[in-house]
């Protein structure tokens, strides 16, 4: 597990690109963190880096949005999903099996349901006293935690961690 500080939204986008460089079809990325932490900012940069040219908007209301990058990618937000049946209807397991890259905001709610392998990025606002609206847009710090878990990543984890470690000098 890596933990470090992102200085601003550009830093969050750099982390997204750094992770994206190592992702392949069928991978699962779980994004955690409170409202306004930067999950959509992260997902947007990740998709852009994987060749998605379309505008990426938050899927909070539609739950799943599909894009075509270098391979098919899915942007999922399960903030409003509260039971297993509703989650099943999103067909996330099938999408992963078909080789779609799936990124799930609030994905910790589904941790373990889609196999043992995933990358989890958690973003935490450092200064909870300041509301998201009061922050200078894009210019606040976040704590990032990155966990790379499971056999699907066994051949990639070391390289991913060392690249992240080089940029954010985590021990």
Query: Interaction with ligand ATP in 82-111: which residues (CB under 6 A)?
Result: 105
Please state the closest distance from residue 57 (CB atom) to ligand ATP, in A.
Answer: 10
Q: What is the gyration radius of the CA atoms in the chain, in angstroms?
A: 15
Q: What residue 148 binds from ligand ATP, Mg ion, none (CB within 5 to 8 A, per partner kind)? A: none
- Which region, judged by CB under 6 A, interacts with ligand ATP, from 17-25, 65-73, 107-115, 134-142? 134-142
> Residue 142 forms beta bridges with which residues?
6, 125
Nearer to Mg ion, 67 or 153 (CB): 67
Of the pair 41, 81, the CB lying nearest ligand ATP is at 41
- C-beta closer to ligand ATP: residue 135 or 161: 135
Query: Which residues make up the interface to ligand ATP (CB under 6 A)?
Result: 6, 8-9, 11-12, 33, 35-41, 58, 60, 105, 132, 135, 137-140, 142
């Amino acid at each position: 597990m890596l933990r470090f500080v992102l200085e601003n939204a550009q830093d969050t986008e750099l982390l997204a690109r750094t992770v994206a460089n190592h992702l392949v079809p069928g991978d699962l990325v779980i994004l955690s963190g409170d409202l306004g932490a930067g999950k959509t900012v992260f997902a947007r940069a990740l998709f852009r880096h994987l060749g998605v040219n379309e505008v990426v908007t938050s899927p909070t209301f539609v739950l799943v949005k599909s894009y075509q990058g270098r391979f098919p990618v899915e942007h999922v937000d399960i903030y409003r999903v509260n039971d297993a049946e509703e989650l099943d209807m999103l067909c996330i397991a099938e999408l992963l099996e078909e080789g779609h890259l799936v990124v799930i905001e609030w994905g910790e709610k589904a941790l373990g349901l889609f196999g043992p392998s995933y990358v989890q990025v958690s973003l935490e606002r450092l200064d909870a006293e300041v509301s998201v609206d009061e922050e200078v847009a894009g210019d606040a710090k976040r704590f990032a935690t990155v966990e790379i878990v499971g056999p699907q990543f066994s051949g990639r984890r070391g390289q991913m961690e060392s690249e992240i470690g080089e940029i954010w000098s985590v021990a």
